Amino acid sequence: MTTPREIKVYRDLMGANAEWAAKTRALLAERSIAMVNVISAPGSGKTTLLERMIPALAGRLRFAVLEGDLETTRDAERLDALDIPVYQLLTGGSCHLEAKLVHHALLDLPLDDLEVVIVENVGNLVCPAEFDIGEAGKLAILSVTEGEDKPVKYPLLFHEAVAAVITKIDLLPYVPFKLEECRRYLAQTNPAAPVFEVSSLTGAGMDAWLTWFTAFVAAHR
Amino acid sequence: MTTPREIKVYRDLMGANAEWAAKTRALLAERSIAMVNVISAPGSGKTTLLERMIPALAGRLRFAVLEGDLETTRDAERLDALDIPVYQLLTGGSCHLEAKLVHHALLDLPLDDLEVVIVENVGNLVCPAEFDIGEAGKLAILSVTEGEDKPVKYPLLFHEAVAAVITKIDLLPYVPFKLEECRRYLAQTNPAAPVFEVSSLTGAGMDAWLTWFTAFVAAHR
């Protein structure tokens, strides 16, 4: 009698991912840490937003950042200047972060000294939204240079997100971006999620965004 | 005796994809059609570039466009105004186009009346670069609002591309984009590929780009 061979299918991959995500949720609950999974297209300004947010909240929240990328340590090097724990997670060609890799990185962080872990996922509007990494919430970032239709063209992320941040609003005078239409698409895809408009360059809109973020962290630790 | 069960792995998926891509290459060679696979992040201006290019080349090249998206027919509707055959390919949540879907769409096009088929892939810098769809060449699009580091952070696409087009150069005065650094990264990732700088809004750089594109099509039909 032959031993049945294990057939690895996508469902199993997702099942294993869900188990690691559950372990991560338990670990973060025990340590009273809120983890936020930041997702956007490449170049939407995720790293620049963190460069603005984290110093603005210094002394009020203790941060660590996990930087997801296919290649290079560029983003981690940028954030290293902030003097907080920053680890680079390289996916080696994969288009998203998986829960297991994030879990092992968390175990290496000084968890006793942290209140918030920000995971900056791989720049991709599709695949990262499909993989739960054990976060308290996914944050969807969209820049005004990308066009107002992205929430309906890439609905899964915007549907799952706890909030959406529209970045680079300092460029609004120079781009054909219909802000009201974008807000309507966002509301249609996810009526519950608040939407913030910010410029990491000028600081516009940053106060309202940081107030919401701070309250979200307090509610999910 | 049990029949061995077929184990579907990623290699088989890629193998089947390669077979469909080869069928597509044979079909296009027979009909003397050049197919170009246009890939970028979401919102880099792929559709807007096509809206500018195709009318500019009307009377010189006969086009059709296959529009790849996860959801919605918005991009196909935009290009429908150009009075050329435009089909929308919906991936239903998948992050890239596969060769089989493209092949079947091609069979529905009026191939006798065409010289160029443009495939606008799903907005994603990662996965579409991994899937050969039988194209004559991949075209990498990058907008100046995304940051100069994308060629090193998402190297596969830029390495495989026959040319790179830097879009939205009208925004250069307003964004912290290092053009020379971007060109250096592109040259490092792919020394052979020419790089064009264009604005679909103002038309800047369009002549040089269209000259190269026309020559590429002539050489690959």
Report pLDDT digits (tens) over B143-170: 999 999 999 999 999 999 999 999 999 9
Comparing C-alpha atoms, which of B50, B167, B165, B72 is closest to residue B117? B50
- pTM for the model stands at 0.91
Comparing C-alpha atoms, which of A125, A114, A140, A131 is closest to residue A192? A140
Taking CB atoms and an 8 Å cut-off, how many pairs form between chains A and B?
Answer: 114
Looking at residues B40-65, what average pLDDT do you find? 97
| pLDDT at residue A7, rounded to an integer | 55
Pick the residue from chain A with its C-alpha nearest to B155.
Answer: A71
A155 at the B interface (CB within 8 A)? Answer: yes
Interchain contact, B125 vs A127, CB within 8 Å = no
B208 touches B216 (CB < 8 A): no
CA separation for the pair B75, B89 (Å, rounded): 10
Report pLDDT digits (tens) over B179-188: 999 999 999 9
B177 at the A interface (CB within 8 A)? Answer: no
Measured between beta carbons, which residues in chain B are less than 8 angstroms from residue A2? 2
| pLDDT at residue A1, rounded to an integer | 45
Provide the CA A82 distance to its chain's centre, in angstroms. 18
Of A42, A93, A122, the CB nearest to B150: A42
Measured between beta carbons, which residues in chain A are less than 8 angstroms from residue B140? none
Measured between beta carbons, which residues in chain A are less than 8 angstroms from residue B171? 145, 171, 174-175
Measured between CA atoms, how close is B31 to chain A, in angstroms? 33
Measured between beta carbons, which residues in chain A are less than 8 angstroms from residue B122? 126
Interchain contact, A154 vs B41, CB within 8 Å = no
- Name the pLDDT band for B93 (thresholds 50, 70, 90): confident
CA separation for the pair B217, B61 (Å, rounded): 9
A9 at the B interface (CB within 8 A)? Answer: yes
- Please give, one letter per residue, the 3-state secondary structure of B149-216: CHHHHCHHHHHHCCEEEEECHHHHHHCCCCHHHHHHHHHHHCCCCCEEECCCCCCCCHHHHHHHHHHH
Q: Are strands A163-167 and A137-143 parallel, antiparallel or unpaired?
A: parallel
A123 at the B interface (CB within 8 A)? Answer: yes
B202 at the A interface (CB within 8 A)? Answer: no
Place of tokens 């990264």: B185
- φ, ψ of residue B73 in degrees (nearest 5): -115, 25
Measured between CA atoms, how close is B221 to chain A, in angstroms? 32
Interchain contact, A42 vs B153, CB within 8 Å = yes
| pLDDT at residue B15, rounded to an integer | 85
A145 touches A168 (CB < 8 A): yes
Q: Residue B215: which region, alpha, beta or left (left: phi > 0; alpha: psi -120 to 50)?
A: alpha
What class has domain B13-219?
Answer: alpha beta
* CA within 13 Å, CB half, B139: 26
CA separation for the pair B218, A123 (Å, rounded): 35
Of A5, A69, A154, the CB nearest to B153: A69
- Tokens read off for B34: 């050049």
Q: Would you write out chain A's pLDDT as a tens digit for each of its 221 residues?
A: 445 555 555 566 788 999 999 999 999 999 999 999 999 999 999 999 999 999 999 999 999 999 999 999 999 999 999 999 999 999 988 999 999 999 999 999 999 999 999 999 999 999 999 999 999 999 999 999 999 999 999 999 999 999 999 999 999 999 999 999 999 999 999 999 999 999 999 999 999 999 999 999 999 99
Domain spans in chain A, listed from the N-terminal domain onward: 13-219
Residue from A8, A67, A78, A174 whose CB has the most chain B CBs within 10 Å, to mutate: A174
Pick the residue from chain B with its C-alpha nearest to A44.
Answer: B146
B124 at the A interface (CB within 8 A)? Answer: yes
Comparing C-alpha atoms, which of A163, A141, A165, A142 is closest to residue A219? A163
What DSSP element (H or E) covers A139?
Answer: strand A137-143
- Tokens read off for A211: 């107030």
